[in-house]
Amino acid sequence: MTQPTPRSQRPTTDFSIIGKPTAMVDAAEKTTGAGKYTDDLSVPGMLVGKILHSPCPHARIKRIHTSRAEQLEGVVAVVVGKDAPSPYGILPVGHDEHALAVDKVRYVGDNVACVVAISEAIAEEALELIDVDYEVLPAYFDPEESMKASSDLIHDNRPNNLEKDYHHVFGDPDKGFAEADHVAEARFIANEVTHAAMEPHSTLAAFEIDSQTGKPGRLTVWSSTQVPYYLQHKLSLVLEIPMAQIRVIKPLVGGGFGGKSEVIPIEIIAAVAARKAQAPVKITYTREEVFWAHRGRPRTIIDLKTGVKNDGRIIAVKARVVQDGGAYCSYGVVTILYSGALLGALYDIPNIQYDGYRVLTNKPACGAMRGHGTVNVRFAFESQLDELAAKIGMDPAEIRRRNLLQPPCITVNGLRVQSYGLPECIEKTVTRSGWKERKGKLPRGRGLGVACSHYVSGAANSIIRSDMPHSTVNIKIDRDGGVVVYTGASEIGQGSDTMTAQIAAEVLGCSLSRVRVVAADTDLTPIDIGSYSSRVTFMAGNATLRAATEVKKLIVAAAATKMNCQPDDLVFREDAVVSRNGHVGTAAIESLPRAQPRGPAEQSSAATVSGRVEGQILRGSLQQKRKDEGPKDRMTFEEAVVAAIDFHGALTGTGSYAPPAEARGGKHKGAGVGPSPAYSYSAQVAEVSVDEETGEVTVHKVWAAHDCGRALNPVSVEGQIIGSVWMGMGQALTEEMVWKDGMLMNPGLLEYRSPSSIESPEVEPIIVESVDPEGPFGAKECSEGSLAATIPAIANAIYDAVGIRLHESPFTPERVLAALRAKKNAKAINLTEGVDPTSPTRFREHGGSLWFKGKGPERHPLDPSRHEPAGGAD
Amino acid sequence: MKKELIELRVNGRDHEVAIEPSALLLDVLRQELQLTGSKRGCDDSSCGACTVLVDGVAMMSCTLLAASCEGQEITTIEGVSEHGSLAAIQKAYGDWGGAQCGYCTPGFIMTVKSLLAENPDPSESDIRDALSSNLCRCTGYNQMYEAIRSAIAAERCAVRNSEQGK
Amino acid sequence: MSLPRFKLLRPRSVAEAVEHLVNHAGSVRVLAGGTDMIPSMRQKLFEPEYVVDLRGVTALREVKLQADGSVEIGALTTIRTIERSDFLREHYPVLAEAAGTVASPVLRNMGTIGGNICLDTRCLWYNQSLTWRKGCGFCIKKDGDLCHVAPGGTKCWAAFSGDTPPALLCLKAEIEIAGPHGTRRVPLSDFYTGLGDNYRKLQASELVTRVFLPASSKDYRGVYRKLRVRGSIDYPLAGVAVVLKRSNGHVSDARIGITAVNPAPLLVKGASELLSGRAVDEALAEAAGDLAAKISKPLTTSALTPEYRREMIRVFTKRAVLAAAQVNGN
């Protein structure tokens, strides 16, 4: 392993907190094990819930017999669909889910019933005592087959099992292709991947008894969610109780990546179960259930056509995208729109045609996953662009430079681009990777590939279609000089709480240790629509900035009076307030006692406790002392706060953020998805080697430059870049949900192969700061945008190494070897079961056979197909 | 099933617990002793989030029966902090971004503890091999290497200082 | 997912363990390192009334050199101990190397050599939860009566997926089995049946207690090559052990063992005839690869396609033969 590059190339900063490497405010909780995730919580009288899942991919429920389960000693309640029949869904247009199946099950793993018992073992035992009569229906597993369906639809109101289709034309694509010097056209297939966050979903729900009515009243739900507010909203819908009677608390969350960015069945089921059992109920998914809850990236067919001029300019793009969305809508309508919308805003493309189909199949629902909607299409696009560069004999990095946007601008599909660090990203990765010197000169089997990507910093239009602010933040400062920030933003490991504390501390000029962040508790914190689409830094960050600025004004006014100077003359920094007159800038600050710098994440943690007089905290005497003195030329932060409270009363500030109208996109149908107040940019170079006898691909290193606007916390930004690249590498090489007739063959971390440390490469993160005019301190997103470039960078590097173009991901060794053997005209062996990875036509299913048609031996008594003829599932 | 009374020694303290014979060490730690730092991330003994030390050897507590650990010294993440402060490795994981969501972190720290106990000066590939027992979904492991190197350096520095102080 | 409820028996000796097995024959399972047994019990693949936990049997945890030059390895010796044993690394490097590829370091701290030998055969249609298996209608190996990987077939094709047995086969290892009538010693090659369901010849009242490496195998040196997707954690998707014995500059004997592509680990017949008396070169190594590929019958029991896994047996055997020749100073 090579030594990681020292981070000496990090941008420098004049801020006192922003831009400094900072340990996350909750780091110690995490490294000591003291922090609590939902499954770590327990409340008195808590029961355990376990869910019965469907063994059939598509069936009508004729009857559920629960009596045997109910009679088992230790079982408190058995919950079924009719206990909460109201439909819900994350999108207003997609209310197609129920807490538990009401009439039909639509995938193997669908939720049928829930047992509440005094222990997990008893609940599991009781599940086996529930008998369900199913009427097996024909099932659909392949999206292109599913689109032909005319009967036995998955949802009656979705003809042809089509959740949604969109057809967009921008510019004149036909004319564009006619003018093109070179056109490439191919089918790409990206297989299905899932978030596989380390924490399995968990929810604890408890009702309080209302003092007035003496009956069950308020509901409190602790849940591993990225979206507490949406959860509160959907709970209200399904349980039919007002939102004000529901409190959602998000404890620590062990990773989300989109898998917790909508309401997951477990969250509704736990609440319904707590109501029926009349006791607190906790449900934690098994890992297999996490795979069934899914909401991951759909497997996708991309039929892509790109036309370029001889000078490398892209003149037209046409994409037909089919997503295998699974059995429910989930975020599907948004996913299929992102896939088209994010063809724009990276490069300047004058003519675009997009036809997107979101299709229902009898598989677990797909939803939002890191890089939502853009990743698979970007794999196809950046691969095809590489092929076109080769065709016209242009350097792959150069062809990307030839197609840059000229911001500020509005793209052909209505996306507003202001800050645009892509040119610098390309420049830096190319330089740092030694691209010019090394490309094409590496030994056989080793190669370099380049690719770019981008992503939104939050959606400009929220999914709930309202004009309310997307983020609101309250700040309270009391006489102790402590700053409490109340934010609805959800820390899920990405550093949301730390970002909030940093912005508040920077604006107020106080040390980070003064700031306490209270987050994601709907009783305490104002509405924030959640941690998804990389919106938190931009939106909650701006709201924090505004709240802090508002409260600071009060302190400034008081301090200016006290110090007998103009408010504009005051500088707040590192727990001190100084006047620019006489004590210019940092000279005065440097005379203050300071904490010793320590380690990489150094920060001034020792707040000056100015109220401490002779070992005692004596506010009265402090104030007396203050009154006795004349005008000051310097105050501590706490003195200024006390002065401000004396002048104004309590110090509070509120800030909120809603994206500006100009950033909210065009008027065409579906124009609401894609627009963002700002876009992040990424360029990457991957270095790989390919074993030509085995097809095994090794990624040696990835250089990843990411334009995050401004790096508020470089350690975190680098962590997000590395993590995104790494997850992209997983999708490129090892991760794949393997299906056979709707059965997920690998629902566990042993068989779903998220990379281990052994095959994980060094990733060199390169921070590019374009300083966005609307971002907080110029910041944009940094957690998703890098993922999409990694897959095509690796694909292009494989081409550079061994000359094969893989059009199907992941690039597993059998696919790579099949392509290599085909190229060499070696003896054909059926390595990939009839699907050519260089020109795939369909999704490949796992081998073997699931069902027998009318023959075969007697089935096990528990075999569902024993009760019903095995219909149509073959 | 009738519960049995067993004695478990965890983080230097003895605990009597009444458990079913089929109880897993992880569940007993989390539910009976409220030591929730060890996590469950999978059901097939693949992820390592539950890693603890048994007589100093890193093992997966989700794959051990609690009853069969009687008489052995169990160390969990809760036993790592020294005198109420972060141990060097814990501090370094925070400073260098070795922990993001933190769910896998206790398991990793136990794995690193056992690595450094038997090999105080591990090579890059020793570290990489050792970490391959645990899965992380956030970090891509890179920042963990920096954290571990920094912790080793901090420990050495502390040892040198204490030797000089003698 | 909780474990099925069982009564736990914690013997301190082999005799005591065997007694438990005899007393509860038919409703008892043996637990050693637990790295496969515990997840399998979670999935309700085994729901025994009694579990005999061998952790307390301290006698079987050592690697011992016998007076006759053979080596005795207690069945409860951890994979980690074998991987790190200086003695084994020096004299039986193929075994130490194979041990070093098992699962992950922490799992090797727990797993035992006896457990790796007795490892249940694996299949994607079998190693699943009870709920999952209901969805596929069960299979021959557990609760059902049809095979999904060989549709219509009535033979179970679950693949033996231990890493150390191919190396042990190459070393002509023997195992000691303790039972109610004392102990018996059998060549490891006679231990496996070749069937995916009843994959080993072990009575319900018996226990594998020791592994012996004959003194005569000391001169056989070689390597183990493992196909897997991840560099850690994974079971083998194909595995090849090759050992060579040399005298006077040429190969005087050779053995090739393969794993993860059949219901049993197998020695490749004809390896010695092919390689003996010849200098190893690319063409010869390739011929050895063809020989090994011929007897490998992978089916869709795991990730990666059967054709690919068979092809990798060919490639890995070729490479292992070349590498073994290097080890032997060709």
Please tell me the distance from the alpha carbon of residue C286 to that of residue C314, in angstroms, as a whole number.
7
Which of these, B92, B111, B127, B5, lies nearest to B50 by C-alpha position?
Answer: B111
- C-alpha distances (whole Å) from A532 to each of A135, A464, A868 are 39, 14, 43
Confirm or reject contact between B119 and chain C (CB < 8 A). no
Tokens of A226: 């990225």
Residue C136 has pLDDT above 90, yes or no: no
Calculate the average pLDDT of chain C. Answer: 95
Q: What is the rounded (10 degree) CA torsion for C309, C314, C316, C321?
A: 160
CB contact under 8 A, C230 and A864: no
- Interface A-B, measured as beta-carbon pairs within 8 A, has a size of 195
Which CATH code for domain B4-79? 3.10.20.30
Please tell me the distance from the alpha carbon of residue A48 to that of residue A283, in angstroms, as a whole number.
6
Residue B165 has pLDDT above 80, yes or no: no
Q: What is the rounded (10 degree) CA torsion for A789, A794, A799, A801?
A: 140
- Interface A-C, measured as beta-carbon pairs within 8 A, has a size of 134
Residues of chain A with pLDDT under 50: 1-6, 583-599, 601-621, 624, 853-874
Which of these, C161, C107, C231, lies nearest to A754 by C-alpha position?
Answer: C231
Encode pLDDT of A266-297 as tens digits.
999 999 999 999 999 999 999 999 999 999 99
Residue A407, classified by CB atoms within 10 Å of its CB into exposed (0-12), middle (13-18) or buried (19+), is middle
> Closest-CA residue in chain A for C137?
A863
ipTM of the complex: 0.98
Which of these, A366, A368, A369, lies nearest to A327 by C-alpha position?
Answer: A366
DSSP lists the bridge partners of residue A446 as A689
Please tell me the distance from the alpha carbon of residue A570 to that of residue A528, in angstroms, as a whole number.
32
| CA atoms within a 13 Å half-sphere pointing along the CA-CB vector of C170 | 37
Quick one: pLDDT at residue A630? 62
CB contacts of B78 in chain A (<8 Å) are 32-34
Confirm or reject contact between B22 and chain C (CB < 8 A). yes
Please tell me the distance from the alpha carbon of residue A638 to that of residue A63, in angstroms, as a whole number.
67
CATH superfamily, with its number, for domain B88-165 = [2Fe-2S]-binding domain (1.10.150.120)
Neighbours of chain A (3+ CB pairs under 8 A): B, C
Please identify among residues 69-88 of chain B the ones whose CB lies closer than 8 Å to any CB of chain A. 76-78, 80-81, 86
Encode pLDDT of C18-69 as tens digits.
999 999 988 999 999 999 999 999 999 999 999 999 999 999 999 999 999 9
Encode pLDDT of C205-216 as tens digits.
999 999 999 999
Q: Tell me, what amino acid is at A8? A: S
Quick one: pLDDT at residue A849? 80
Confirm or reject contact between C231 and chain A (CB < 8 A). yes
Neighbours of chain B (3+ CB pairs under 8 A): A, C
CB contacts of A54 in chain C (<8 Å) are 135
- Compute the average pLDDT of residues C96-125: 98
Interface test with B, best of C106, C229, C235 (most B CBs within 10 A): C106
| Percent of chain C whose predicted confidence (pLDDT) is above 90 | 91
**CATH class of segment(s) C61-118+159-327:** alpha beta
DSSP H helical ranges for A564-650: 586-590, 619-628, 637-648
Please tell me the distance from the alpha carbon of residue A860 to that of residue A377, in angstroms, as a whole number.
44
Domains of chain A: 27-35+468-657 (3.30.365.10), 38-137+200-253+260-293 (3.90.1170.50), 159-195+295-462+664-823 (3.30.365.10)
Confirm or reject contact between A828 and chain C (CB < 8 A). no
The counts of H helices and E strands in chain C are: 12, 12
CB contact under 8 A, A601 and B150: no
The answer to whether A194 and A296 have CB atoms below 8 angstroms apart is: yes
> Closest-CA residue in chain A for B34?
A40
Please identify among residues 38-57 of chain C the ones whose CB lies closer than 8 Å to any CB of chain A. none
The answer to whether A214 and A266 have CB atoms below 8 angstroms apart is: no
- Compute the average pLDDT of residues C255-259: 98
Which of these, A543, A759, A510, lies nearest to A637 by C-alpha position?
Answer: A510
* 3 state SS of A358: strand
- The whole model's pTM is what? 0.95
Looking at the partner chain, which of B4, B44, B63 has a beta carbon nearest the beta carbon of C110? Answer: B63
Encode pLDDT of C219-232 as tens digits.
899 999 999 999 99
Residues 6+ apart with CB under 8 A from B157: none
CB contact under 8 A, C132 and A288: yes
Phi, psi dihedral angles at A712 (to 5 degrees): -65, -40
Tokens of A693: 């006898």
Confirm or reject contact between A118 and chain C (CB < 8 A). no
List the domain boundaries for chain C. Answer: 1-59, 61-118+159-327
Please tell me the distance from the alpha carbon of residue A23 to that of residue C1, in angstroms, as a whole number.
36
Compute the nearest-CA separation of A532 from chain B (Å). 15
Tokens of C261: 């592509």
Confirm or reject contact between C136 and chain B (CB < 8 A). no
Please tell me the distance from the alpha carbon of residue C80 to that of residue C96, in angstroms, as a whole number.
9
Which CATH code for domain C1-59? 3.30.43.10
List the domain boundaries for chain B. Answer: 4-79, 88-165
Neighbouring CB atoms inside 10 A of C330's CB total: 16
Please tell me the distance from the alpha carbon of residue B123 to that of residue B126, in angstroms, as a whole number.
5
Quick one: pLDDT at residue A390? 98
Tokens of A343: 């063809």
Calculate the average pLDDT of chain B. Answer: 96
Which of these, A5, A733, A54, lies nearest to C228 by C-alpha position?
Answer: A733
DSSP lists the bridge partners of residue C254 as C244
